Amino acid sequence: MKIKSQILSIGAGIFLLGCTDAMIVVPEAPFPIADDSFVIDTVATGFTIPYGIAIVGEEEYFITDRIGKMFHLDGNNLTELMGLPAVVTFGVPGLPAILHGGLMDISLHPDYASNGWIYICYLAEDGFAKVSRLTLENHTIDRFETIFITRDQNYTGNGMRIAWQDEGHFFLNVGNSDFSTSTNPIMHAQDLNHDAGKIHRLGEDGGIPSDNPVFDGSTSPTSIWSYGHRDVQGLFYERSSDTLYGLEHGPKGGDEFNIIEKGGNYGWPLFSYGVNYDGAQVSTLSEDSASRFTVLPVHIWTVPTPSGGQALAPSCLLKVSESRISDWNDHFIFGSLAFRRLMKYNPETQETVALNVTGRVRTIKQLPGGDLLALVERNDLRRANGKIIKIRQLPKKEPDDM
């Protein structure tokens, strides 16, 4: 019996749905594949969409799964944590894939060793994006505080990331992947009374720092640090240079690498280098006009296609330093959801290459010793076979005995 398959395009991703399986295939790499040398080890399996990871030590981590679960991995012992808030997810009827919402990033307070605070961000059952902090006792939540709630429901919010600036402040992205066009603009990201499409800066308890921007029309600061974002899923703060980097989803093409400035307007949807998924123009502004009132990206990605371009769909961001994989030091590493692999970007040369790490990599983090951890989503939509992998230096060959 011949098995028929269906190709279903969803945003930046294409899923191959067969009658006997639902495998997510890996497309051809959009850039040359680097010959960097490294080894990949599987650390843990059994996840659906592992989204965030908080590193306690070399072999101890907390992991969120987008479906609403959280785990503690200590060595070889994987334990599900109890007492989490309920989350809401959205997909496509009949397809067990999640496109929006759920339990997203997780982060430890910089002084976690003393206070035990773990921070999580998620789309709650009521449709509001939230940040909560919690402590654990015997793998069960014993203290739980919701410290940030968006002023509006955020059903189009896809990416939420936490990046600590220092012991008392953190940055938070709240995504806003609306389908906006020049003839039907959706202006949430430009509306300073709406929290979606923004990067926020919060105190450790969720309070508004006194040195946050004061925007025109306001007399005091709000939580908003920058605005005009579509969906910043890669957020990385570099302490040594006091620089916040954002990696942002365009619509169909036009993914952006940005340096985030205090009070900056990053243009969405007034200006974009991408087009809507149906080919409609997002805006009619020229780059020159946009540069007069928005912060233009440092770099953009649009993979050429016969239909006008394809997005990489960047999912995370890490600037590697002091790694044992020397070819990656001082480069940015990020996952491409559309092309199911890791990418490496050189900020000095503006060159992007693909890496031989395949799968829908949702998050990449660096361990204290220099190795890297990547969270890879399931490659079969009917099974919970997401995983955590460790990427480490290729062992040096020992000289032959004489």
Each residue's pLDDT tens digit, 61-91: 999 999 999 999 999 999 999 999 999 988 7
DSSP string, 300-332: EE-B--TTS-B---B---EE--S-S-GGGTTSE
Q: What is the CA radius of gyration of the chain?
A: 21
pLDDT value of residue 177: 81
Token couple for 353 = 């290459």
Token couple for 141 = 């939540």
Token couple for 171 = 């940055």
pLDDT value of residue 7: 29
Q: Please state, in angstroms and as integers, the Cα–Cα distance from residue 74 to each residue in 4, 43, 63, 276, following that order.
A: 43, 11, 11, 44
Whole-number Å distance between alpha carbons of 129 and 123 = 4
* Through-space distance between the first and last CA atoms of the chain, rounded to whole angstroms: 60
Whole-number Å distance between alpha carbons of 297 and 287 = 11
Three-state DSSP class for 3? Answer: coil
Whole-number Å distance between alpha carbons of 163 and 311 = 24
pLDDT value of residue 92: 65
169-219 pLDDT, tens digit per residue, is 999 999 988 889 999 999 999 999 999 999 999 999 999 999 999 999 999
pLDDT value of residue 309: 87
Q: What is the pTM of this model?
A: 0.92
Closest to 162 in 3D by CA, of 194, 129, 211, 209: 129
Whole-number Å distance between alpha carbons of 383 and 224 = 39
Closest to 87 in 3D by CA, of 117, 152, 47, 132: 132
H/E element, 351:
strand 351-358
Residue 121 identity: C
Closest to 69 in 3D by CA, of 92, 45, 48, 91: 48
Whole-number Å distance between alpha carbons of 122 and 161 = 10
| Average pLDDT per consecutive 10 residues, the chain (402 residues; last block may be shorter) | 29 37 85 96 96 98 97 97 93 71 96 98 95 97 97 86 98 91 94 97 98 96 97 97 97 96 97 92 94 97 88 97 94 97 97 97 97 95 93 74 48
Q: How many residues does the chain have?
A: 402
Three-state DSSP class for 289? Answer: helix
Closest to 87 in 3D by CA, of 109, 107, 70, 63: 70
Whole-number Å distance between alpha carbons of 57 and 157 = 31
- The 8-class DSSP code of residue 82 comes to B
Token couple for 16 = 């191959």
CB contact at 8 A, 343 and 29? no
